[in-house]
Chains A and B, each alone.
Chain A
Amino acid sequence: MSTVQLATPETAHDVEQLAAEERALSRNGHEQEEIHLPPPSIAPLIVGVGGTLTVIGLIAPLLLVVGLPLTLFGLLRMAHFPEIELHGRFLAHLDPRKLGMWAFLASEIMFFGALIGTFIAFKIDHPEAFKAAHEVLSLPLATLGTTVLIVSSFAVVMGLEAIQSDDRRVFFNWMGLTLLFGATFLGTQAFEWYELMHEGIKAGNIFGTAFFVTTGFHGLHVLIGVGWLGLLMLRAARGVYSSSNNLGIELFGLYWHFVDVVWIVLFTVIYLIA
């Protein structure tokens, strides 16, 4: 109701109110400018419904048949969204999307901190079980995984650097490398899990519980990252990103580097320290 009144200021009171708002805006260093809103879309709703079905599908697998394709379809629709600039009024020199990403990563610190803390606690309580399991773990394979993740992190910053100078060919090369190495990491982890299962380390063991939950959640993050990067590259192929619009790439980079950081810690805690 108030919007209608503001749109057609008829009384002197409304005019005053508008002027006051304008002053407040310019005090925060923002000129009055046009706001470009994307057209309304049903895609987030589709992702919401599909995601809910997928999560419930973890218990009732039949729902996955509907949930997964629905989520994927919704995400692909969202890949067509334009990027919008958001202007925060609080701490105007900060970007709201970036701040949100850092807040999300802070929550991830707590999440992985709890997981790693549990791993260390189990290790202190059952040193002999962990010592026996440490003999079975393959350090070369884990080192390969670490190297692959570090290279992919480097690839993301070089890709970001390239798109910031409108160097699209270099950008696609590095991002393609990231996608390849992310998938390679998942491959090494799948192979490792397969081997460990055959060595008798199962989710029922004390080591197995700690190991599979920790590396599993990290692997899930890599998997989500690979999917996210796939969407980014689809969007980039449509010409969304350029030197003047690359925050989407940077936000993905923050997430990907964080996943790398978590692996650096996990690699030390699980594989290196006996």
Chain B
Amino acid sequence: MDSDTVLLVTLWVAVGVFVGGVVTPLIAERKRVNEWLAMLAGVVLGGVGGVILLAPLRLLLRLRPDRQVTGPTWQRDAITLEEALAAVSGGGPAAGALAALRANFWPRARADGHSHRLTYLGVFVALAAITLIEVLLTVVDVPFAVTGPLVGLSTGKVMLVVLYFMHLRYDSRWYAAVFASALPFAILASVILALS
């Protein structure tokens, strides 16, 4: 598996874990079950369910014909969007619309073959999912304090944007050092202000 696939699978399972951890306590609320136990069960269920639900995708990937791979595997998308969509829609009128969409919004692979397109798509989906979970946590009456999870989820979102969209993960560590050097001061200022 290349890095894009690993990332997508991890995100997929993580989303399952999140959803399981949030929804199960809600269901168990009226059943007189310890909510922490329910959450733990939900997390396990979500993780395992995520892996099980991956099986159809694996089958789909197996069914598609082998492609001619000319470059190193890490330089290629695991499966191009075109192939994924063709496998799902199987041609027909939808294919035309998809082709138009692809021509207008899916960037060509770079000349050096190195491309982050699917990574970006995965990060975007993760950001949207986390936002949804955050809003659900706020709107739905959950049986635990939400401040901690909300701060954790937001930190995750910030890390995703900074690491992937701002390329810090791929860029020189010096940029990260310059950027992060401001963090202690910002935290110090916040703490002093909050305590005063």
Point out residues on A near B: beta carbons under 8 Å: 91, 93-94, 98-99, 102-103, 105-107, 109-110, 112-114, 116-118, 120-121, 124, 139, 143, 146-147, 150-151, 153-154, 156-158, 161-162, 164-167, 169-171, 173-174, 243, 250, 253-254, 257-258, 260-261, 264-265, 267-268, 271-274
CA distance A161 to B112 in the complex (A): 12
- Assess whether A158 is in contact with B104, with CB atoms less than 8 Å apart: no
- Assess whether A170 is in contact with B106, with CB atoms less than 8 Å apart: yes
**Given A167-B108, A261-B162, are A109 and B120 also a contact pair (CB < 8 Å)?**
no
Contact of A139 among B135, B150, B165, B193 (CB under 8 A): B135
Query: Hey, which chain B residues are within 8 Å of A143, CB to CB?
Result: 131, 135
Interface residues of B in 26-73 (CB under 8 A from A): none
Interface majority SS on A: helix, strand, loop or mixed?
Answer: helix
- Assess whether B178 is in contact with A106, with CB atoms less than 8 Å apart: yes
Query: Hey, which chain B residues are within 8 Å of A105, CB to CB?
Result: 179
Query: Hey, which chain B residues are within 8 Å of A151, CB to CB?
Result: 124
With both beta carbons as reference points, the residue of chain B lying nearest to A262 in the complex is identified as B158
Contact of A117 among B115, B172, B190 (CB under 8 A): B190
Query: Hey, which chain A residues are within 8 Å of B195, CB to CB?
Result: 121
Proximity string of chain B (168-193) to chain A, C-beta cutoff 8 Å, 1 when within and 0 when not: 00011011001111110111011111
CA distance A255 to B107 in the complex (A): 22
Give chain B nearest CB distance to A28 CB in angstroms. 16
Give chain B nearest CB distance to A115 CB in angstroms. 10
CA distance A176 to B36 in the complex (A): 47
**Given A147-B131, A157-B120, A273-B147, are A260 and B189 also a contact pair (CB < 8 Å)?**
no
With both beta carbons as reference points, the residue of chain B lying nearest to A243 in the complex is identified as B111
- Assess whether B196 is in contact with A165, with CB atoms less than 8 Å apart: no
Proximity string of chain B (107-122) to chain A, C-beta cutoff 8 Å, 1 when within and 0 when not: 1111100011100100
Contact of B179 among A109, A112, A174, A272 (CB under 8 A): A109
The 8 residue pairs across chains A and B that have the minimum distance between CB atoms: A113-B186, A117-B190, A106-B182, A162-B107, A117-B193, A109-B182, A268-B154, A154-B124
Query: Hey, which chain B residues are within 8 Å of A261, CB to CB?
Result: 158, 161-162
Query: Hey, which chain A residues are within 8 Å of B127, CB to CB?
Result: 150, 154
Is B128 an interface position by the 8 A CB rule?
yes
CA distance A113 to B109 in the complex (A): 38
- Assess whether A94 is in contact with B172, with CB atoms less than 8 Å apart: yes
With both beta carbons as reference points, the residue of chain A lying nearest to B164 in the complex is identified as A157
With both beta carbons as reference points, the residue of chain B lying nearest to A112 in the complex is identified as B186
- Assess whether B182 is in contact with A120, with CB atoms less than 8 Å apart: no
Is B140 an interface position by the 8 A CB rule?
no
Query: Hey, which chain B residues are within 8 Å of A243, CB to CB?
Result: 110-111
Query: 4 new A-B pairs (CB below 8 Å) besides A118-B193, A170-B108?
Result: A94-B172, A109-B186, A260-B165, A268-B150
- Assess whether A257 is in contact with B166, with CB atoms less than 8 Å apart: yes
CA distance A9 to B103 in the complex (A): 58
Query: Hey, which chain B residues are within 8 Å of A103, CB to CB?
Result: 178
- Assess whether A120 is in contact with B194, with CB atoms less than 8 Å apart: yes
With both beta carbons as reference points, the residue of chain A lying nearest to B195 in the complex is identified as A121
Query: Hey, which chain A residues are within 8 Å of B150, CB to CB?
Result: 268, 272-273
CA distance A107 to B106 in the complex (A): 35
With both beta carbons as reference points, the residue of chain A lying nearest to B175 in the complex is identified as A102
- Assess whether A264 is in contact with B179, with CB atoms less than 8 Å apart: no
Query: Hey, which chain A residues are within 8 Å of B186, CB to CB?
Result: 109-110, 112-114, 117
With both beta carbons as reference points, the residue of chain A lying nearest to B183 in the complex is identified as A109
